[in-house]
Structure 1
Amino acid sequence: MNPKKLKALRAKQQAELQQKQAQAAQGPYELSMEFCVDDVNETIEQYRADTGLEDAEQTPEHVAYSVYKGDLIICLKNILIPLEQEWHLGVDSHYYNPETDEVMSVPVQFQMPKMSFNEFKFGSTLAVDRGHGLKTRWKGINQELNDILLADVPVGFERVRSDAKLTCITGFTNYDCLTEFNFVKRLIRQQGLEGVKKLNETMAQYKEGQVA
Structure 2
Amino acid sequence: MKMKKIAALRAKREAELKAKQALAAAGPYELSMTFLVDEVNDVVEQYREEHNLENAEATPEHVAYSVYHGDLIICLKNILIPLDQEWLLGIDSHYYNAETDEVMTVPVQFQMPKMPFNEFKFGSKLAVDRGHGLKTRWRGINEELNEILLTDVPVGFTRVRSDAKLSCFTGFTDYSCLKEFNFIKKIIREQGLEGIEKLNQVIAKYNTEQVA
1:156-202, Cα deviation, whole Å (9 max, x unpaired)? 00000000000000000000000000000000000000000000000
1:80-103, Cα deviation, whole Å (9 max, x unpaired)? 000000000000000001111110
Q: Which residue of 2 aligns with 1:168?
A: 168
Q: Which runs of 5+ in 1 are unaligned?
A: none
1:91-132, Cα deviation, whole Å (9 max, x unpaired)? 000000111111000000100000000000000000000000
The one-letter amino acid paired with 1:58 is A
Percent identity between matched residues is 75
> How well do the aligned residues superpose, as a CA RMSD in angstroms?
0.6
- Where 2:13 maps in the other structure, the secondary structure is helix
- Where 1:15 maps in the other structure, the secondary structure is helix
- Where 2:82 maps in the other structure, the secondary structure is coil
What displacement does 1:50 show?
1.0
What displacement does 1:68 show?
0.1
| Whole-angstrom distance in 1 between the partners of 2:18 and 2:7 | 16
The one-letter amino acid paired with 2:124 is S
Q: Which residue of 1 aligns with 2:144?
A: 144
| Whole-angstrom distance in 2 between the partners of 1:108 and 1:4 | 63
1:67-86, Cα deviation, whole Å (9 max, x unpaired)? 00000000000000000000
| Whole-angstrom distance in 1 between the partners of 2:4 and 2:49 | 64
Q: Which residue of 1 aligns with 2:48?
A: 48
What displacement does 1:24 show?
0.2
The one-letter amino acid paired with 1:34 is T
- Where 1:200 maps in the other structure, the secondary structure is helix
Larger mean CA deviation between 189-198 and 48-57 belongs to: 48-57
| Whole-angstrom distance in 1 between the partners of 2:161 and 2:22 | 41
Where does 1:8-47 land on structure 2 (aligned, <5 Å)? Answer: 8-47=8-47
What displacement does 1:206 show?
0.3
- Where 2:53 maps in the other structure, the secondary structure is coil
1:190 aligns with 2:190: yes
Where does 1:101-116 land on structure 2 (aligned, <5 Å)? Answer: 101-116=101-116
| Whole-angstrom distance in 1 between the partners of 2:84 and 2:124 | 12
Q: Which residue of 2 aligns with 1:70?
A: 70
| Whole-angstrom distance in 2 between the partners of 1:122 and 1:45 | 18
Q: Which residue of 2 aligns with 1:202?
A: 202
Q: Which residue of 1 aligns with 2:178?
A: 178
Q: Which runs of 5+ in 2 are unaligned?
A: none
| Whole-angstrom distance in 2 between the partners of 1:82 and 1:48 | 27
| Whole-angstrom distance in 1 between the partners of 2:197 and 2:53 | 16
What displacement does 1:34 show?
0.1
The one-letter amino acid paired with 1:156 is G
